[in-house]
Amino acid sequence: MKKDLIIAILPLSLLLSSLTPTVLGATVEEQQIDLQVREIAKTLRCTICQNESIWESQAELAQQMRDLIRERLLKGESPDQIRAYFLSRYGDYILLTPQKSGMNWILWAGPFVLLAGGGILLYRTVSRWVAQTAAAKQDDLPPIDDRLRKRIEEELHSRED
């Protein structure tokens, strides 16, 4: 009886042990595809939403775009190829982060250029103010008459008291 049971279980366990790596492999691959879909979808703008990526959006178009990304990944396309496809259909608008090329450099460099320009302008203006209000020399000061000197001394004494 025991022998029969072993004979019955053995092929089944062999079959299962041969299938497990395949199933695990498929699951791992599926997870990798999911991660890639997420990675790509997070960089693409939902064209009918307000400032949302197609990963975050619940719109039907966003869902269809995610499905299309998955389909293309399964066909063997790389994330860059898929992004290039969307770019070829919708232009720069589809990218949540503008490309660092052409006129887009104004977007990337503009704030830093303005900051640097503003800093230089501020430095020059402040330097000019400082130069114009430099500490006066002793000779340039108006003379103190006796009456003023007496008043100063009185005020100093009153503070000491």
CA distance 31 to 50: 29
Using alpha carbons, list the distances in angstroms from residue 97 to 10, 43, 44, 62, 92: 57, 7, 8, 17, 9
The yes or no reply on residue 93 touching another protein (CB under 8 A) is yes
Q: How far is the CB of 114 from another protein (least distance, A)?
A: 8
Q: How far is the CB of 42 from another protein (least distance, A)?
A: 18
CA distance 52 to 134: 55
Interaction residues for another protein, span 17-76 (CB under 8 A): 47-48, 60-61, 64-65, 67-68
The yes or no reply on residue 132 touching another protein (CB under 8 A) is no
- CA 139 from chain centre, in angstroms, equals 59
The yes or no reply on residue 116 touching another protein (CB under 8 A) is no
The yes or no reply on residue 88 touching another protein (CB under 8 A) is yes
The yes or no reply on residue 121 touching another protein (CB under 8 A) is yes
Residue 62 has phi, psi (to 5 degrees) of: -65, -40
Per CB under 8 A, residues contacting another protein are 47-48, 60-61, 64-65, 67-68, 86-91, 93, 114, 117, 121, 124
